[in-house]
Structure 1
């Protein structure tokens, strides 16, 4: 289905000519520490977008909602946001986190907003915004890359991952759905290349043009353009240079060590999931503890495989650290490092997986593989996975790791898909159209529930701290 954005935008612009003069007073200006002039009189449901995925997804979603009976606004925090936010109903903010809290709280309180939409619940500006919205009783729709990919995106009210309303829970007894009956995947050909190009544009413009005040609220580590370009050059070089090496290691593991190797998928070092949700774990601590515990407690004929995240190939030095720790623990010949290949294939043939809180763990649940979870994850439940409370708990996993019954795993994955996912993509054309349509449907449902007094957002402040 193609979204009729151009025709609908023309109709919407014509219907709002009477309010345009008022609107122009608050568009395109940075507001620091004070509320802008009054918004135009409210005539329909009012939604505000914060930061979105790199690229034009939020701009297209805003245009579509404005042409579909909503009044959708957008807050830009830096030059990268503005690159993908042309047109009307755009507010610019520059200031400290404390100023942002008071400014956004006043915006919500005084101007009748009905919903907030954001990408990622862990960015500082989004945590603050969600707390402000909760205080006003306004639902917050949080988007993320799909827990299951490709072909899906995540849309949840209240938060994602460890902040998800279903985090740490199992399906209720009355749930009878399956993955087959849930939302269907949408083709996403060309998604990665589109995302990479959009990310290059976004972070380049953000680094070059953003003001000092805007830099305070950057959500990613602030590297220079030169260093970031160098790391990505290394990433692409290693991607192709290591193809043969990755293939040989994988082939040897599958042929000679089937079900006799443990898999450790490492996460992106600045992933928001490696903040408070990680229970103080990071990649280096995971590498050290896993190798030491493996050397002392795992069966002598088993191997250990670390898989570098594809986004980390050029940025990480974990290869050297893994080799050093393995040599010190006399297991160098049984520890391997991959930075490519099929994670799903490796998982299916592994003896178990260890992760902090990566969504890779869902692959282990799907394939019926023992899974040890160190941090807080949406799927962390003692009846579903091996929950590590303290580092030494991992010593028991090599022999005591268990697999939940197949029917429980199937129900859980079907429930998670039903509750959290919609078919779509943030970068591929067909996927964008499907995701935007689902976003509107979810917002409409939330507004109906809000009018009837039903709760549609989880308590953001209730996320477990570990």
Structure 2
């Protein structure tokens, strides 16, 4: 299809002007672009003649979207965060109408990349998972550049997030029916982070001392890097409603099956807001399973140092897993992750992992990253002028040429979907509209998950 015949509809984007810049690049190549704003934060970052506002209920979104797609002859849909409820509905509608949709996010190969995939990510990714296919594809692809070309200060990202979410919190009335699908009240969340930020340096100093002690444990240890409870990959690409369930699953298995001299270290996410009492939860579960002397919690410090010396790492589906693989650390995934591939991560059960962690195949890892970079990653970022320009140009060229996931990394069906169904993960937008991850933990919520071990 010629570029002049293409009509790209943009839904929500990241808290920056990146989506608008990408649309500008598409229009410079002859396409038409449209935007639907869902909240005041969307409007602030993009309000021009191409944009309209949806102020109805989430329950009525499908009907509105179907009509909009038809009336505007939309040929492609682009959105950020594929499992955001409005986007999950859009994906379902587009599949029914045979309209290509594209999801983008922070890059798997971050910090210098943006992910751009056909349809979705995680369980919905159409990226191959067959090791031999990945090796074959990589033979004709360039090695991945490790040079960071588009750095940006964390302040840029943090300011965008805070500004966007507080706009929606303090000025909700223009879009008062908008469902933001947030786990926490944003004002409460940001206020909770202030003391953590103020104590960060002191906390890191103490944590690095603990890490030095842990690394010297003669019998060895395993690491569980905690994700954020608000992480979409945790909430919609795992069977866990709350991270405490994954923690209990891991501690219970560790208590019953790990060699008695082994230790288990939980590392709190550096951007954790402090609302969830992870240390108290882990201490309670360690006592429950009688391993309190062998389980540790570290808040702060250098995760890479921990991973380099660890016997293995367990995580739900964090992109930290890729960093662990690069450090030759064996990895066991509890949810759905694009890199959970035979030869890279441990494919046996968690109980077996404690005794038999397998080192990742470094040649396969290089091939995997080559295919990633060549098919579903573009260089750049959302938060600097130069980085946005680079990512927008590269993404626009792939969208116009219809080469997202190409060459070769576009399976007919999402290959990880069967695994997600087997794990009991909701895989339809209808189910996912029912908010996951918002359940607050109670004593009864920590009932054992022995039947899953």
TM-score w.r.t. structure 2 length?
Answer: 0.83
Query: Relative contact order (alpha carbons < 8 A, sep ≥ 6): 1 or 2 greater?
Result: 2
Once residues 412 and 455 of structure 1 are traced to their aligned partners in structure 2, the CA distance between those partners, rounded to angstroms, is: 11
TM-score w.r.t. structure 1 length?
Answer: 0.81
Give the C-alpha shift of residue 155 in structure 1. 0.8
Once residues 88 and 122 of structure 1 are traced to their aligned partners in structure 2, the CA distance between those partners, rounded to angstroms, is: 28
Once residues 448 and 286 of structure 1 are traced to their aligned partners in structure 2, the CA distance between those partners, rounded to angstroms, is: 33
Aligned to 2:158: 196
Does the CA contact (< 8 Å) of 1:183 and 1:422 recur in 2? no
Give the C-alpha shift of residue 281 in structure 1. 6.0
Q: Bigger shift: 188-197 or 456-465? A: 456-465
Say whether 1:166 aligns with 2:127. yes
Aligned to 2:180: 218
Say whether 1:396 aligns with 2:352. yes
Give the C-alpha shift of residue 114 in structure 1. 2.2
CA RMSD of aligned residues (A): 2.9
Once residues 416 and 245 of structure 2 are traced to their aligned partners in structure 1, the CA distance between those partners, rounded to angstroms, is: 27
Once residues 154 and 404 of structure 2 are traced to their aligned partners in structure 1, the CA distance between those partners, rounded to angstroms, is: 36
Of residues 332, 336, 339 in structure 2, which corresponds to 1:372? 332
Say which SS state the counterpart of residue 102 (structure 1) adopts.
helix
Say whether 1:272 aligns with 2:226. no
Once residues 300 and 457 of structure 1 are traced to their aligned partners in structure 2, the CA distance between those partners, rounded to angstroms, is: 44
Say which SS state the counterpart of residue 110 (structure 2) adopts.
coil
CA 1:313/1:155 → structure 2, altered by over 3 Å: closer, same or farther?
A: same
What residue ranges of structure 2 are gaps of 5+ in the alignment?
Answer: 424-453
Say whether 1:432 aligns with 2:388. yes
Say whether 1:71 aligns with 2:29. no
Does the CA contact (< 8 Å) of 2:127 and 2:405 recur in 1? no
CA 1:342/1:381 → structure 2, altered by over 3 Å: closer, same or farther?
A: same
Once residues 98 and 176 of structure 1 are traced to their aligned partners in structure 2, the CA distance between those partners, rounded to angstroms, is: 44
Aligned to 1:31: none
Say whether 1:405 aligns with 2:361. yes
Say which SS state the counterpart of residue 313 (structure 2) adopts.
strand
Of residues 81, 90, 107 in structure 1, which corresponds to 2:42? 81
Give the C-alpha shift of residue 75 in structure 1. 0.9
Aligned to 2:304: 344
For residues 407-449 of structure 1, the C-alpha deviation after alignment (integer angstroms, 9 at most, x for no partner) is: 2233223223332211111112222111101111111111899
Aligned to 2:92: 131
What are the within-5 Å matches in structure 2 for residues 288-307 of structure 1? 288-307=248-267
Does the CA contact (< 8 Å) of 1:158 and 1:458 recur in 2? no
Aligned to 1:152: 113
Does the CA contact (< 8 Å) of 2:91 and 2:101 recur in 1? yes
CA 1:379/1:457 → structure 2, altered by over 3 Å: closer, same or farther?
A: closer
Once residues 299 and 334 of structure 2 are traced to their aligned partners in structure 1, the CA distance between those partners, rounded to angstroms, is: 22
For residues 373-415 of structure 1, the C-alpha deviation after alignment (integer angstroms, 9 at most, x for no partner) is: 1111112234432246xxxx32221002223433223322322
Say which SS state the counterpart of residue 401 (structure 1) adopts.
coil
Aligned to 1:10: none
Q: Bigger shift: 280-289 or 368-377? A: 280-289
Say which SS state the counterpart of residue 190 (structure 1) adopts.
coil
Once residues 339 and 415 of structure 2 are traced to their aligned partners in structure 1, the CA distance between those partners, rounded to angstroms, is: 19
CA 1:429/1:224 → structure 2, altered by over 3 Å: closer, same or farther?
A: closer
CA 1:90/1:253 → structure 2, altered by over 3 Å: closer, same or farther?
A: same
Say whether 1:441 aligns with 2:413. no
Aligned to 1:122: 83
CA 1:418/1:183 → structure 2, altered by over 3 Å: closer, same or farther?
A: farther
Once residues 415 and 136 of structure 2 are traced to their aligned partners in structure 1, the CA distance between those partners, rounded to angstroms, is: 28
Aligned to 2:428: none
Aligned to 1:244: 205
Displaced runs of 4 or more, over 6 A: 447-450, 454-457
How many residue pairs get aligned? The number is 416
Give the C-alpha shift of residue 292 in structure 1. 2.6
Aligned to 2:441: none
What residue ranges of structure 1 are gaps of 5+ in the alignment?
Answer: 1-41
CA 1:447/1:364 → structure 2, altered by over 3 Å: closer, same or farther?
A: closer
For residues 253-303 of structure 1, the C-alpha deviation after alignment (integer angstroms, 9 at most, x for no partner) is: 23x137811010111102111234212364211222222322332223322
Of residues 191, 200, 217 in structure 2, which corresponds to 1:257? 217
Say which SS state the counterpart of residue 338 (structure 1) adopts.
strand
Give the C-alpha shift of residue 457 in structure 1. 8.5
Aligned to 1:362: 322
CA 1:400/1:180 → structure 2, altered by over 3 Å: closer, same or farther?
A: same
Once residues 286 and 140 of structure 2 are traced to their aligned partners in structure 1, the CA distance between those partners, rounded to angstroms, is: 42
Q: Bigger shift: 279-288 or 300-309? A: 279-288
Say which SS state the counterpart of residue 376 (structure 1) adopts.
coil
Does the CA contact (< 8 Å) of 2:129 and 2:415 recur in 1? no
Say which SS state the counterpart of residue 158 (structure 2) adopts.
helix
Does the CA contact (< 8 Å) of 1:158 and 1:460 recur in 2? no
Q: Bigger shift: 50-59 or 318-327? A: 318-327
Once residues 167 and 192 of structure 1 are traced to their aligned partners in structure 2, the CA distance between those partners, rounded to angstroms, is: 32
Q: Which has the larger radius of gyration?
A: 1
Give the C-alpha shift of residue 147 in structure 1. 1.2
Say whether 1:463 aligns with 2:417. yes
Give the C-alpha shift of residue 135 in structure 1. 2.2
Q: Bigger shift: 330-339 or 80-89? A: 330-339
